[in-house]
Amino acid sequence: MAGVGLIFFPAFDWCITPDHPEREERLLYTRDQIQEEGILDLPQFREYRPRMAAEKEIQRAHVFVPSLRAHITESHLIAAGGAIAAADLVMGGKEERACALVRPPGHHAMRVVHGQRGFCLVNNEAVMVEHIRQKLGPEARIAIVDTDVHHGDGTQDIYYNDPNVLHISLHQDGRTLYPGTGFLSERGGPGAYGLTVNIPLPPGTGDEGILAVMESLVLPILKDFQPDLVINGAGQDNHFTDPLANMQVTAQGYARLTELLKPDIVVLEGGYAVEGALPYVNLGILLALAGLDYSHVIEPDLTRYNLRQNQAVTETIAYLIDSVGEQWAQRREADLEGIFGSGDFFQRNRMIYYDTAGITESQRSGIRLCSTCAGWERIETRSDRFREMTCAVLLPWNCCSKCRSEAEAEYEEAAFSRRFRKVALHDPQKDHFTELRK
Amino acid sequence: MYTIGIDVGGTNTDGALLFGHDMLAVVKVPTDHEDLVGSTRAALEQLLRSCPAGAEIELQLSTTLTTNTIVEGKGTPTAAVVIPGPGLNLDQCGLDLPFHVLSGYVDHRGRVIADIKADQAVDAALEAKRQGAEALAIVGKFSQRNPRLETAAAQAIRGAGLEFSYITLGHEIAARLGFPRRVVTAYLNSQVAAAQERFIRAVQELEEFRTIRILKADGGTMTLAQSRQRPIETILSGPAASVMAALALTRYTEHNVAVVDIGGTTTDLAVVVGGLPVYERDGAVIAGYPTAVPAVYSRSIGLGGDSEVHLTVEEGRASFTLGPKRAGKPACLGGAHVTPTDAISALRLAEVGNREQAVAALQAFASPHGLSWQEAAQGIVDAFVHQLCQAIHAVYDELEGRPVYTLAEFLEKPELMPQVIACLGTPAPAIMPAVGEKLGLPVEILPCSASANAIGSAAARPTTGITLHADTALGQMSIPEMGLFKEIERPALFDQRRARREALERLVEYARQSGLDEVPELDIVAEEAFNIVRGFRTVGRIFHIGAQIRPGARRIRVKEGT
């Protein structure tokens, strides 16, 4: 019987710092609950070992400054490798769905990595998605639905200009929560406009609100996009007891959300109410994935909270559903020239703050406006930690020959330029990733 | 000191007599299913003839009593009273037993979130009684972290004057996490308790022994008193005995060993790493019931000397597959079927039965397919070797794939792969050299194969283990195996070293209670420590420590001609 494959790697001997939310204890009570429930004895579940991601597999999604080895720990490699192992279970037909409960999380890690942001260093989902695409080929259409309470800005960054990856992030409004982004106006680059979908929910959103968004917005968008695989970045910090956010979702809400979404692969993201939420939310998600009854999964604290969703919140959500739905429906009619200009490149200058590592990165990027493919991208980056300039040249998955020759020429030039200490060329079509440190 | 090991198996009862490390005699008598004690007595009487009168003897017994009681459904009618709290819907647990649900629950830290209602417990017990239950199991989720609700339910039921022949409480029988397995284990324990009690009484009347010990599924022994409380642990002692025999007899005492026991119907595979047996991760499975009973890892495949032989010919190529069912008695032993044993006999790989009958049967089997008897015999032996190699690979794949939860375990994976194959069973000398060649491993044929289970029973030593769980934020610690649940004195000072010391001291105490005069080597087999951080402050620590007496078997020397 095809069922749910569980990859569980709680890294009981790894932490950012001993009292950090991302610490050894985080999945302890989840492990205890899962084992005590005995669900792994049910015919619907099987547990598998993660593996270690190879450096190259990580590099498919990232440009590390100054180098991957300067940052990476084994736990990162196993978390990313756990996500890959989960994907392989599904792609290999061994399991119908898979769930990687691994730590540390990944969705705040962007394409360029100077250090840890939002407890993340390696974007586990992006590493997994790139692995999947190397197997399924460039035409594979993948949808990532990020249900962590924080905006999935790292994953958004990596797939901002990728026409075959739909990134939907549901999160608490960036005006009230880290990382402070994820607004309706962030809709994707010139080659993938409209395929970044942000749904910034008001603080106080509960089961009612998040499920309304799923049913009336996310599911119709997915139906329209017709993905080959649906991936759920399952952060659990929308929970009413989470210490870092202000939402009111329950384990029942998360389970129902999972049941509606029917993701092929679930990858754990954040969630820091380690005792009151995670054991119950994880159990609810696993039961829902397997199609089992989750109605008895109830948090002990539930009766102590008044979780009725405020009327103003309900109205804001109704408005959001309309606006985002309309944006999706009209994404093809958008005035791209008005948004991205009529020059050769769409230029962006950004300051990116790494809260966990305490680094500020300044980044200048340009995406080639191309009518044939998504356009190649050039990134210049430095930070107050790594002051010397790095240049990355990224080819899109559907790179046209013109863009390829331009990008390769650009890389050659950067490689000889004395401005850059490090240059990188990413070529997913050939699965070739070159880095040069001078 | 003399030791007698007796294994009351499905077909035969085997006995072995040891003096110290030396084996003096083995016997074999047929098992009488209606009278297991009688079978034991028959084997004993023969062995006692080799003992001087008045000698001090210890008896170690392995029986199929509890296994059969469960498999044949002959136990005491039993019902479970469960306290599941929130979580998985119990109807979806696949619990194939009558159960009655109480409200109330304990959380993962062992805090009572809601108490039980005494009248509900009494009603459940009355209902169970009305449906015919004579014994009970009372099991709560996370009861090994806090048994209060189980105890309260039992008190309420006893207080109401309801009589049951046996009541098992979950925390007394299964210290590991896993509520459904705990329910099943407690349920089966109550079911077999009466049968075990009758057996023990009869055994005690047999002879004067210095000690009588019973073999457990984990290959260790326990006292009669312990077997009264936890009879369920005596299930599946047969496969455990065969692993113990391999440990007792092998020359490779410190090595990684694959243990292959080839029987008539099945072949059992077990794994030894660094001289110690590998255990089941969650517990033994019996008659389809997953339990929490600690058990030696053992996989049984439907391949043996009497297996069915299937031949398919495709595009002129003949291919043989064997098993999984038993065909019957081999032709060379007067049976009607071609079996692997006949191939072994015909090819003169071993002297078994009447070779001419084997050849004739093979000829009759092979000629309609255009094969000679030699080709058929070789094909059967090759298939046996091939299927056995595949099964050995599958066992190691499964073990290598066992999940681990720490970087340390992930990075420093212990080497499991075997350095040698130790074999038991009559067909082993004929088959195993080819298996060893194929796997690139040396093969050791162990002596006295026919009495292996009795030798294993005699060689087994007491095993005992405890799991200590301490939560210094709540100021509580528990060792469910000892029924110990107490406050930690001065929890702020209770650190990892103290937790470890506490575990080892308690283990010594527990070993003494278990009838061990001298305490052998102790091992910490699992250790976890966590900071409990709330609001960026460390408010306490959780320690989880598993400690056990190092398992193992007494070494046995077999003299030529025994």
Distance from CA of B265 to the nearest CA of A (A): 27
* Of B407, B514, B123, the residue nearest A72 (C-alpha): B407
My answer on whether B258 and B387 are in the same domain is yes
Please give the C-alpha separations between residue A367 and each of A338, A395, B483, in angstroms, as whole numbers. Answer: 15, 10, 68
Q: Which pLDDT score, from 0 to 100, does residue B471 have?
A: 97
Q: Which pLDDT score, from 0 to 100, does residue A174 have?
A: 96
Burial class (CB in 10 A: 0-12, 13-18, 19+), A361: buried
My answer on whether B174 and B214 are in the same domain is no
Q: Which domain holds residue B395?
A: 242-447
**What residues contact residue B349 under an 8 Å CB cut-off, 6+ apart?**
B343, B381, B429, B430, B431
Q: Within 13 Å of residue A30, how many CA atoms lie on the same side as its CB?
A: 28
Domain membership flag for residue B560: no
Beta-carbon separation of A292 and B533 below 8 A: no
My answer on whether B338 and B393 are in the same domain is yes
Nearest to B88 among A13, A31, A287 (CB): A287
My answer on whether B237 and B341 are in the same domain is no
Query: Could you tell me how far CA A306 lies from the centroid of its own chain?
Result: 31
- CB-CB contact of B278 with B297 (8 Å): yes
Beta-carbon separation of A18 and B533 below 8 A: yes
Beta-carbon separation of A75 and B407 below 8 A: yes
Burial B314-351, CB ≥16 within 10 A → b, else e: eeeeeebbbbeebbebbbbbebebbbbbbbbbbbebbe
Distance from CA of A98 to the nearest CA of B (A): 15
My answer on whether B111 and B256 are in the same domain is no
Contact of B397 with chain A, judged by CB distance below 8 Å, is answered with no
Domain membership flag for residue B558: no
The C-alpha atoms of residue A175 and residue A182 are separated, in whole angstroms, by 9
Of all helices (H) and strands (E), which one includes residue B113?
Answer: strand B112-114
Residue of B405, B536, B538 best to disrupt the A interface, most CBs of A under 10 A: B405
Residues of A in contact with B542 (CB under 8 A): 25, 28
Strand spans (E) along A156-305: 165-172, 196-201, 229-234, 265-268
Residues 21-50, chain A: which have Cβ within 8 Å of B? 23-25, 28-29, 31-33, 35-39, 41-43, 47-50
Span A375-391, mean pLDDT? 97
Q: Which pLDDT score, from 0 to 100, does residue A338 have?
A: 95
Helix (H, G, I), strand (E, B) or coil at B266: coil
**Block mean pLDDT (10 aa), chain B, length 562:** 92 93 93 89 93 91 93 95 95 91 96 97 98 98 97 97 96 95 98 95 88 94 93 93 95 96 93 94 93 95 95 89 93 94 96 94 94 96 97 96 90 91 93 96 92 94 93 96 94 95 95 80 92 89 94 85 52
My answer on whether B322 and B364 are in the same domain is yes
Beta-carbon separation of B406 and A74 below 8 A: no
Residues 168-227, chain A: which have Cβ within 8 Å of B? none
Domain membership flag for residue B483: yes
Beta-carbon separation of A300 and B107 below 8 A: yes
Helix (H, G, I), strand (E, B) or coil at B28: strand
My answer on whether B182 and B223 are in the same domain is no
My answer on whether B254 and B401 are in the same domain is yes
Residues of B in contact with A48 (CB under 8 A): 401, 403
Final residue in a domain of this structure, among B170, B191, B212: B191
The C-alpha atoms of residue B331 and residue B339 are separated, in whole angstroms, by 7
Residues of A in contact with B179 (CB under 8 A): 36-38
Residues of A in contact with B407 (CB under 8 A): 11, 13-14, 74-75, 78
Domain membership flag for residue B458: no
Strand spans (E) along B370-504: 420-424, 443-445, 465-471, 476-479, 484-487
List of domains in chain A: 4-332 (3.40.800.20), 345-437 (no CATH)
Quote the ipTM score: 0.92
Q: Which pLDDT score, from 0 to 100, does residue B33 have?
A: 84
Nearest residue of B to residue A22, measured between CA atoms: B533
My answer on whether B206 and B174 are in the same domain is no
Helix (H, G, I), strand (E, B) or coil at A241: coil
Domain membership flag for residue B457: no
My answer on whether B141 and B94 are in the same domain is yes
Q: Which pLDDT score, from 0 to 100, does residue B515 have?
A: 77
Beta-carbon separation of B179 and A37 below 8 A: yes
Portion of chain A with pLDDT greater than 70, in percent: 100
Domain membership flag for residue B475: yes
Domain membership flag for residue B459: no
Beta-carbon separation of B401 and A49 below 8 A: yes
Span A151-158, mean pLDDT? 98
My answer on whether B207 and B316 are in the same domain is no
My answer on whether B324 and B409 are in the same domain is yes
For the stretch B29-82, pLDDT in tens is 999 988 889 999 999 999 999 988 889 999 999 998 999 999 999 999 999 999
- CB-CB contact of A110 with A117 (8 Å): yes
Please give the C-alpha separations between residue B283 and each of B71, B72, B215, B294, B556, in angstroms, as whole numbers. Answer: 17, 21, 16, 5, 28
Please report which confidence band the pLDDT of residue A149 belongs to, taking 50, 70 and 90 as the band edges.
very high
CATH number at residue B181: 3.40.50
Final residue in a domain of this structure, among B418, B447, B476: B447
The C-alpha atoms of residue A424 and residue A415 are separated, in whole angstroms, by 9
Beta-carbon separation of B92 and A28 below 8 A: no
Please report which confidence band the pLDDT of residue A2 belongs to, taking 50, 70 and 90 as the band edges.
low
First to last CA, chain B: 19
CATH number at residue B246: 3.30.420.40
Residues of A taking part in catalysis: 108
Given a cut of 50, whether residue A1 has pLDDT beyond it is no
Span A2-8, mean pLDDT? 92
Residue with tokens 């702020």: B492
Distance from CA of B170 to the nearest CA of A (A): 13
The C-alpha atoms of residue A260 and residue A258 are separated, in whole angstroms, by 5
Beta bridge partners of B27: B15
Contact of B540 with chain A, judged by CB distance below 8 Å, is answered with no
Helix (H, G, I), strand (E, B) or coil at A181: coil
The C-alpha atoms of residue A312 and residue A238 are separated, in whole angstroms, by 18
Please give the C-alpha separations between residue A248 and each of A107, A239, A257, B347, B393, in angstroms, as whole numbers. Answer: 22, 6, 14, 75, 50
Domain membership flag for residue B495: yes
Q: In chain B, how many domains are there?
A: 4
Portion of chain A with pLDDT greater than 90, in percent: 97
Judge if the upstream peptide bond of residue B147 is cis by omega within 30 degrees of 0: no
Question: What is the value of pTM for the model shown?
Answer: 0.94
Contact of A8 with chain B, judged by CB distance below 8 Å, is answered with yes
